[in-house]
Amino acid sequence: MAGFSLEQIANKIGAEVKGDAACRVFAINTIQDAKSGDIAFLSNPKYQSFLDSTQASAVILAPDLAANFSGNALVLDNPYLGFARVAQLLDTTPQLNPGIHPSAIIAPSAIVSETAAIAENVVIGKDAVIGEHCQIRANCVIGDGCKIGSETLLYPNVTVYHDVTIGQRGIIHSGTIIGSDGFGFANDKGVWVKIPQLGGVTIGDDFECGANCTIDRGAINPTVIGNDVKLDNLCHLAHNVQFGSHSAMAAYSGVAGSSTVGEYCTLSGRVTILGHINLEDGVHVTAGSQVGKSLEKGAYSSGSPLMSNREWKRSVARVRQLDDMAKSIKQLQKEIEKLKREKGDE
């Protein structure tokens, strides 16, 4: 493995070299565990104490820390972004060679690029289109009429139902299901009658989806996900959700049917968006929150912060007293108003 010189990396990520520009690095590591040949990064002040003792051949640093660092450094304003760029350069994720494994089952009407890699036991349905340099790994199922854009990677055991479109450079992790039926039923005197889900799913470019997520197809029109959307593991988008470009959602979060999440929004872990809600662009919701109304741009919270068990019990007891307290306050207000009137009559 040839690695990269600091000069090469600096040119690729827009950094300044301090020290030996010819120094070569071969892997990325944490600042406390790095050894010779590794490049580390420091973005969290919590780890600043390791800077003097690190064995890394180079460290990605902000200018204020680089000024007093005697070792080799790549200097830029956002070291964490620099870490991301360098990690891409030094990525060791195995790549499949182009070609179709003999065990794959591909419909005669499907179109698969010659540069795509189709692994063991993959099933590709009728009229599906697999773009250039795609990697479809073992046991994936791609339904009829699907379109998978160029350079998209599906890890093992991803299931894509019929009539789903995924843009370019997507990454979808194992166990995720895209295009399953939304929760649509009508009630006939206590008996549930299924509403067929006729829409598909349309996903833009640069989408990344974690493991074991579920994205439902639309009831009539498709569920739509924009460009550069990032979903953590264990997320759910229900039928006809519109999820805007450059937005992100952390683990255990879900968006109910026909809700809209605007662009540049962030939903932290275990956030619940109820149905038919509209989040405008630039909405940020903190962990554990339940959103029951539409929101304008801004930051919102509804989850309870952690407290000691004693405090929590006391808080719960007070909550149970709120109704009686409200009645008492209302009664006191009436008595105050009565006293004011009596005083005014004097």
Structure tokens at 258: 């026909």
275 CB-near residues (< 8 Å, 6+ apart) = 238, 256, 257, 258, 259
The backbone torsions φ and ψ at residue 191, rounded to the nearest 5 degrees and listed phi first, read: -110, 130
Per the CB < 8 A criterion, the answer to whether 10 and 18 are in contact is no
- For residues 201 and 165, the answer to whether their CB atoms sit within 8 Å is yes
Q: According to the model, what pLDDT value does residue 305 have?
A: 79
Give percent of the chain above pLDDT 90.
Answer: 89
H-helix or E-strand spanning residue 23:
none
Catalytic residues: 239
The pLDDT assigned to 292 comes to 96
pLDDT at position 174 is 98
Residue 297 has pLDDT above 80, yes or no: yes
Whether residue 84 is predicted with pLDDT greater than 70 in this model: the reply is yes
Q: How many CB atoms lie under 10 A from the CB of residue 2?
A: 6
Please state the pTM of the whole predicted model: 0.87
Query: What pLDDT score does 214 carry?
Result: 98
